[in-house]
Amino acid sequence: MKKQFLLLSFVVMIAACNNTNPLLTEQDTPYGVPAFDKIQLKHYEPAFKEAIAQYQAEIDAICQITNEPTFENTIVALDRSGSLLDKVEGVFFNILEADGNEEMDKIAEKVTPWVTELSDNILLNDQLFNRVKAVYDKRDDLGLNAEQMRLLTETYKSFVQNGANLNPAQKERLRQINQELSLLSLKFGNNVVAETNSIKRFITDESELQGLPESAKAAAKEAAEADGSVTDAWLFSPKRTSFTPVLQYCENRELRKQLLIDYTIRGNRDNENDNKAVINQTMRLRIEKAHLFGYDTPADYILSDCMAHNSQNVNELLHTVWGPSLNAARKEAAELQKLLDQDIAAGKVQINQAEDKKLQPWDWWYYSEKLRKQKYDLNEEELKPYFELSNVRNGVFQLAHNLYGLQFEPLHNMPVYNPEVEVFKVTDDKGNLVGILYTDYFPRAGKRPGAWMNDICHQYVDQNGVDHRPVIINVGNFNRPTKDQPSLLSMDDVETLFHEFGHALHGLMSKATYKSLAGTNVPRDFVEMPSQFMENYCYEPEILRTYAFHYLTGETMPDSLITKINNAKQFNQGFVETELLSASILDMDYHCLSQADTIDVNKFEAESMQKMNMIPQIIVRYRSTFYNHIFTTGYEAGYYSYTWSAVLDADAFAAFKETGDILNPEVAKRFKHLLEQGGTRDAQELWDEFRGRKADPKFLLERKGFID
């Protein structure tokens, strides 16, 4: 019945669209990028219907082949199917995250169950799985090359891990679970966006902003003017670009407290956007799903296909790094407490109760900035004029050229989904097209928080041997330009830009034959390695000199300031790592649950922090109710991957440092080869080939300053 409905929809939509839907017809766009300028809201739903129907028809065609199942007529045909849906999803979900609105949210709520149902129809199709299994069972006799064997193995595993071996009753329940989880994920993310946009704090007395840099005040003033709710005011929100400068520089302790609470209370206010019930239902379903597959916990189920393999290995790594990180954080807290004590003694801090004498989470950033200035004569605001956004981006482009021979050419008059988006053509040292890169760096109401990379179009080689190059997007939420100055970044922002660009390179340089193995289609605890690897470079003096130019004078950052940056590189790393690791451990605590009892989310989180002896002066990086990574973006039981990958990236950078040349062409060639492979080979095998041994955590601990 479902199949008949889909096929009927396919026929109806072909007639109805009459070749006018830009998502369903070939458009004459440069480099085959989507026709963003022609796509309208009305096009999405028909496009999803037709793309789903076409995908189902392609799957039916594979199942109806009467010839013996072969690698080509089954495995390759399966990999090549669904190209139209790839295109539609690549456009819709990227815009939904980066430039969405309520109408798109409603469309997402409608089409997401369709896509989930289709996925289940494919992965739970007995006839199709029998063909896949028939090829897999004779894999050793097929004479396949390494990439072909990888595709076959991963395809078979995907079916098994998604329910192909379950009995009929279990399969039906799995379908229900997957549908519910897909909608819960949407609801969680929408709630976070709604909370972030709805929480506003207006300041009408400028004296309350004492110490706040003029650039931050100007941005807050423009935000208030754009909002229009309150005249002659400064507007602050839970967006990081808004509240972070207040935490760092504002002398008003109460305002710092209010803004940090605004950030951490999102999704936890017992209103229509509250996420506690969403978390409960999500975890109940994830636990039930794990049990369907014979696993005790969601972590056991999820990690079976990662480099870590199981929760024991994850927890072992996390606690290897946790101890040194927490010890460093305690020492840092003691130093910051002394600065607070001095301000109390000088009458600069109002004391209403005994707790006011103790360092609080809303004090950490403020006093760490003071301590940074005291220890290293370094102020974040002193750096920002040298980190103009376009210069930083040009610097990371130059780094990619120096390492891998890539060239980046700005493309004008390209179709974009928002006027702020910029587009670049990427070519290799011989002028061959590598891919197209979109960059979208400024916050807006319809953009979810954070920064990310994604594929708009995948790389693959078609049956005619044509290599289709990828279209990649980098998205951020950096400071907007103001009336008086361009977008200026903090050092953390610079790191983020380098990080996401590392993901982009992983996608751009892909040299896979099959789309399901291309680019960043690798285990989650490996995918962050190429991105974090790029972060190493942003502090290096010879790299800083390629992008750190004063936005007014054009002067290169002086050596004295570069020296200060590197002297302070290990400053506050106890806080940074403790904040990160606590989120990773909280994630594992959720996903190591084996029973679906009702969870008191706030109590569960507090107990998790207590078990790890988290110090009260630091708040976990992501509170449960806005923890998008594990409840929306597919990083459940996977946030540890940032630390797992950090061990790899620190070790990889050491391979360059050991030669005395951070741009060593021979090492760069080997690392480029690793990036180009994508998921065509086992991640551990790729690493061992590059480094010649297992990764050593000592390089990460040394980089953080936790060991000598």
Tell me which residues are annotated as active site. Answer: 500
At 468, is the secondary structure helix, strand, or coil?
strand
- Exposure letters 532-550 (e unless 16+ CB within 10 A, then b): bbbbbbbbbeebbebbbbe
Residues whose CB is less than 8 angstroms from the CB of residue 690 and which lie 6 or more positions away in sequence, other chains included: 652, 655, 670, 671, 673, 674
- Residue 254, judged by CB atoms within 10 A of its CB (0-12, 13-18, 19+), counts as exposed
Residues whose CB is less than 8 angstroms from the CB of residue 331 and which lie 6 or more positions away in sequence, other chains included: 574
**Contact by Cβ (8 Å): 501, 419:** no
- Residue 29, judged by CB atoms within 10 A of its CB (0-12, 13-18, 19+), counts as middle
- Is beta strand 407-411 parallel, antiparallel or unpaired with respect to 467-468? unpaired
HSE-CB of 388 using CA atoms within 13 angstroms = 18
Could you write out the three-class secondary structure of 232-277? CCEEECCCHHHHHHHHHHCCCHHHHHHHHHHHHCCCCCCCCCCCHH
Closest of 221, 239, 231 to residue 446, by C-alpha: 239
What is the rounded CA–CA span in Å between residue 222 and residue 482? 8
- Is beta strand 422-427 parallel, antiparallel or unpaired with respect to 433-440? antiparallel
Tokens at 531, concatenated: 């991105």
* DSSP for residue 559: H
- Is beta strand 433-440 parallel, antiparallel or unpaired with respect to 471-475? parallel
**Contact by Cβ (8 Å): 686, 147:** no
What is the rounded CA–CA span in Å between residue 613 and residue 16? 62
Through-space distance between the first and last CA atoms of the chain, rounded to whole angstroms:
66
**Contact by Cβ (8 Å): 491, 387:** yes
DSSP 536-566: GGGG-HHHHTTT-B-TTT-PBPPHHHHHHHH
DSSP-assigned beta bridge partners for residue 556 = 549
Closest of 582, 552, 576 to residue 495, by C-alpha: 576
Closest of 136, 113, 132 to residue 123, by C-alpha: 132
**Contact by Cβ (8 Å): 597, 308:** no
Tokens at 348, concatenated: 């600069």
Place of tokens 């004063």: 550
Length of the chain: 708
DSSP-assigned beta bridge partners for residue 659 = none
- Amino acid symbol at 272: E
